[in-house]
Structure 1
Amino acid sequence: MISLNKADKKSYLDVKQELVRLYLSAFTEGISAQKITTDEAETYLDKLFSDGYGIFAFSDDQLIAALISIPLTSDNERPENIRTLYDTAAAEYIAEVLVDKNFREMGLGKKLMRAFEDHLDKKRKHVLLRVWNQNEAAVALYQKAGFKVCGHIVQEKIRPLTNDKFVMHKNYMVKIY
Structure 2
Amino acid sequence: MTVKIKKCNREDLQKLQEISVETFNDTFKDQNSPENMKTYLEKAFNYKQLEMELSNISSEFFLVYTNNEVAGYLKVNTNDAQSEDMGGESLEVERIYIKDNFQKHGLGKYLLNKAIEIAVERNKKKIWLGVWERNENAIAFYKKMGFVQTGAHSFYMGDEEQTDLIMTKSLSLL
TM-score range, shorter chain: 0.7 to 0.9
**1:24-44 superposed Cα distances (whole Å, 9 cap, x missing partner):** 112234224522227843333
Deviation at 1:17, TM superposition (A): 1.3
Q: Give the alignment's Cα RMSD to 1 decimal.
A: 2.2
Match of 2:17 among 15, 20, 39: 20
Change (3 A) 1:32 1:22: farther
Structure 2 SS opposite 1:129: strand
* AA partner of residue 71 (structure 1): T
TM-score (norm 1): 0.78
1:61 matched residue in structure 2: 68
Displacement, 1:20? 0.9
Any conservation in 2 of the 1:6–1:53 contact (CA below 8 Å)? no
Which runs of structure 2 are paired with 1:31-50 in the superposition (5 Å)? 31-33=30-32, 34-35=37-38, 36-37=41-42, 40-49=45-54, 50=56
Residue number in structure 2 paired with 1:100: 99
Structure 2, gaps ≥5 residues long: none
Unaligned runs of 5+ in 1: 159-164
**Contact 1:4 1:112 (C-alpha < 8 Å) held by counterparts:** no
Q: How many residues align?
A: 160
TM-score (normalizing by structure 2): 0.80
Greater length-normalized contact order (CA 8 Å, ≥ 6 residues apart)? 1
Residue in 2 that maps onto 1:149 = 149
Q: What letter matches 2:25 in structure 1? A: T
